[in-house]
Chains A and B, each alone.
Chain A
Amino acid sequence: MIHKYKLNGYNICLDVHSGAVHVLDDIAYDILDFCDENMTEQPPEKMMVCLSDKYPKEELEETYAALYELFTEGQLFSADDYEQFSDLMTKAPIKSMCINISHDCNLRCEYCFAAKGDFGQGRCLMPLETAKKAIDFIIANSGTRHNLEVDFFGGEPLMNFDVVKQTVEYARSIEKKYNKNFRFTITTNGLLLDDEKIEYINREMHNVVLSLDGRKEVNDKLRVTPNGKGCYDIIVPKYQKLVASRGDKDYYIRGTFTTFSKDFTADVMHMKELGFEQLSIEPVVSDPKLDYSIKYDDLPAVFKEYERLAKTLIETRRKGEFFNFFHFMIDLDQGPCAIKRLRGCGCGNEYVAVTPQGDIYPCHQFVGEEAYKMGNLNDGTFDTDMKLRFARANVYSKENCKDCWAKFYCSGGCNANNYQYEGDILKSHKVSCELEKKRLECAIMIKAALADMDTDSKSDCDSDDCFAECR
């Protein structure tokens, strides 16, 4: 299977099953319309006839030969022989956990998927005892996995920061004994950040996710305090302080765009102007009936905006400046192994979420869905049948994903969105699929453009018949 498309002046072909990405000239791009899994050394007659008006015969033959060579090298129309691996992956230890340390929040963001912080379950904080049990649970269920990830989430985790600190301390005190290495992440809306918390987060947290929607008027429209005031002026200076003293540890400034802010390139650039480099703005996922939601009809405008953002990113790099957009990050050479790519997000299998009451759910987005409660930390219950059901939710068990060109980069999308909007964890959520595919097209195009920049900067090479592999 291949996926070919034109974007920003590039003709791009992704060979899905090998992962090869080719940038083609027009003739090669057109010839591909006549090729498939059964390529032969002899150029197809139909192609020679149909394209004869457009290109000379010798050019057609020569280009076809080059494509045929890629085919024989397994880099074009390569075979799908991955299904054999999809069953390999079912039994897996739990290695990641989302601890909803606070089901309370000091903001009332309009679009919050957690029902304004309490997941519809009443406002409360997780007691230390429960948090410790969560750490014990992940250690006990992580088998031989060494790296364990714990994300402090909410609600607003800083509202229960003492318990966060004590939980980290507890985990650190026993990790050596069990030969584990904890990596902590915290996601915050920033309101309660102060110097002491900043210092602590920068010392202990492997990653920190800081919520901000971009421009003041955009942020303050939906990210509001209980009395309706925007939070931009309070949080931005705190984020700047945190990032300035973070060194080279990971962080993300993370926003949400809605149908009101489809011009989100301006928000990304605003974040950059504020001095941030690691940026992420993601589409709100919500009931299409809500006025701010991104609906099918919004897609053409959002696609255009992703293109604009991609071009802006390229321009910025050309000027020697830098920002990173999370959803355009892609490693074409050394990404995760194909097995990992097939198994998806791992929710309910490698990843679980726990609530202040000690309830265990497949992930943070299932919290509050009674039918998906997997067990409880306090009574020691855990539904291994449900774990197995989630374990089997991979790219090859999802009807739409199996034959989707994006499957190795998307990994089958979000099970929770599938359930919420399509009624089945195995049915992909259409709007999300379209957005994912567009982002991927942009991400790959950016690679093509950056590769061009690399070549430009190496222009002291004067060979005009270059078959050399230069990097």
Chain B
Amino acid sequence: MKTTKHIKTLNNANLKESAVKGGCGECQASCQSACKTSCTVANQKCEK
């Protein structure tokens, strides 16, 4: 977390990096539908 006088940044914003390294496909499938609580993408973990 980085804090300056006017702005607090909550995370280290690594989405772009993850695109380059990612895509292995080992993580869980992610049904987004209301009928299934298996997982949705936002709360998944990376398997790496």
Interface residues as binary, A87-111 with B (CB distance below 8 Å gives 1, 0 otherwise) = 0110011011000000000000000
Question: Nearest Cβ in chain A — how far from B18, in angstroms?
Answer: 4
Chain B, 1-48, CB within 8 A of any chain A CB: 1-16, 18-19, 21-38, 40-47
Indicate if the CB atoms of A85 and B23 lie closer than 8 Å. yes
Q: Is A24 an interface residue (CB 8 A)?
A: yes
Residues of the B chain whose Cβ atoms lie less than 8 Å from the Cβ of A18: 13, 15-16
Contact in complex: A96, B40 (CB < 8 Å): no
CB contacts (< 8 Å) of B4 on chain A: these are 66, 467
User: Is the pair B7, A23 in contact by a Cβ cutoff of 8 Å?
Assistant: yes
Q: Is A340 located at the chain interface by the 8 A CB criterion?
A: yes
CB–CB A448/B10 < 8 A: yes
Q: Nearest Cβ distance between residue B22 and chain A, in whole angstroms? A: 2
Nearest CB of B to A21, in Å: 4
State A339–B21 Cα separation when bound (angstroms): 9
Report whether A280 and B15 are in contact in the complex, using a CB–CB cutoff of 8 Å. no
Known contacts A89-B23, A337-B21, A337-B46; A345 and B7 CB within 8 A of each other: no
* A15 neighbours in B (Cβ, 8 Å): 13
The answer on a CB contact under 8 Å between B9 and A22 is yes
Stretch among A44-52, A302-310, A325-333, A377-385 lining the B interface: A325-333
Q: Which of A93, A409, A432 contacts B42 (CB 8 A)?
A: A409
Q: Is the CB of B34 within 8 A of A411?
A: no
Closest to B44 in A: A336
Q: How many residues of A sit at the interface, in one of the four size bands?
A: 35 or more
B contact residues around A417 at 8 Å (CB): 33
Give how many A-B residue pairs fall within 8 Å (CB-CB). Answer: 209
A333–B37 touching, CB < 8 Å: no
**Chain B residues near A436 (CB, 8 Å)?**
32
Contact among B3, B11, B47 for A19, CB-based, below 8 A = B11
**Cβ B25 vs Cβ A67 within 8 A:** no
Which residue on A lies nearest to B33, using beta carbons?
A414
A376 to B27, CA, bound (A): 26
Residues of A within 8 A of B44 (CB): 331, 335-336, 340
A27-B6 in contact given A18-B16, A96-B28, A330-B43 (Cβ < 8 Å)? yes
Task: Please indicate the chain A residues that have their CB under 8 angstroms from the CB of B5 in the complex.
Answer: 25, 62-63, 66
When the two chains form their complex, are residues B8 and A113 in contact, meaning their CB atoms are under 8 A apart?
A: no
- Complexed CA–CA distance, A43 and B38 (Å): 47
| Chain B residues near A363 (CB-CB < 8 A) | 31
Query: Roughly how many angstroms separate A186 CA and B36 CA in the complex, as a whole number?
Result: 11
- Known contacts A333-B12, A469-B1; decide if A351 and B29 are in contact (CB<8 Å): yes
Q: Contact flags (1/0) for A67-95 with B, using CB distance below 8 Å?
A: 10010001100100110010011001101
The answer to whether B37 touches A350, judged by C-beta atoms less than 8 angstroms apart, is no
Is A116 among interface residues, defined by CB-CB distance under 8 A? no
When chains A and B are docked, how far (Å) is the Cα of A466 from the Cα of B18? 29
Question: A193: shortest Cβ distance to chain B, in Å?
Answer: 18
**Which positions 293-322 of chain A face chain B at CB distance < 8 Å?**
none
Which residues of the partner chain B approach A337 to less than 8 Å between Cβ atoms?
18-19, 21-24, 46
A413 / chain B contacts, CB cutoff of 8 Å: 32
B45 and A96 contact, CB distance less than 8 A: no
Contact of B37 among A27, A88, A147, A252 (CB under 8 A): A252
- Tell me, yes or no, whether A28 is within 8 Å of chain B by CB: yes
Residue of A nearest to B41 (CB): A411
Q: Could you tell me if A145 and B26 are in contact, using CB atoms closer than 8 angstroms?
A: yes
The answer to whether A336 and B33 touch across the interface, beta carbons within 8 angstroms, is no
- A471 touches B (CB below 8 Å): yes
> Contacts A19-B11, A95-B25, A332-B10: A345 and B3 contacting too (C-beta < 8 A)?
no
Chain B residues in 8 Å Cβ range of A74: 13, 16
Known A-B contacts: A22-B7, A147-B26, A283-B34. Give 8 more (CB < 8 A). Answer: A18-B13, A85-B23, A145-B26, A254-B37, A336-B45, A345-B31, A351-B29, A364-B36
Contact sample, A vs B, 29 pairs, CB 8 Å cutoff: A18-B15, A19-B13, A20-B11, A21-B11, A23-B8, A28-B6, A28-B7, A62-B5, A70-B7, A75-B9, A82-B19, A149-B29, A149-B38, A282-B34, A282-B37, A327-B40, A332-B11, A333-B14, A336-B22, A336-B30, A336-B46, A340-B44, A341-B15, A341-B41, A344-B30, A413-B32, A414-B31, A414-B32, A436-B32
Can you list the 8 inter-chain pairs with the closest CB atoms, starting with the nearest? A337-B22, A329-B43, A20-B13, A19-B15, A96-B29, A338-B19, A339-B23, A332-B11
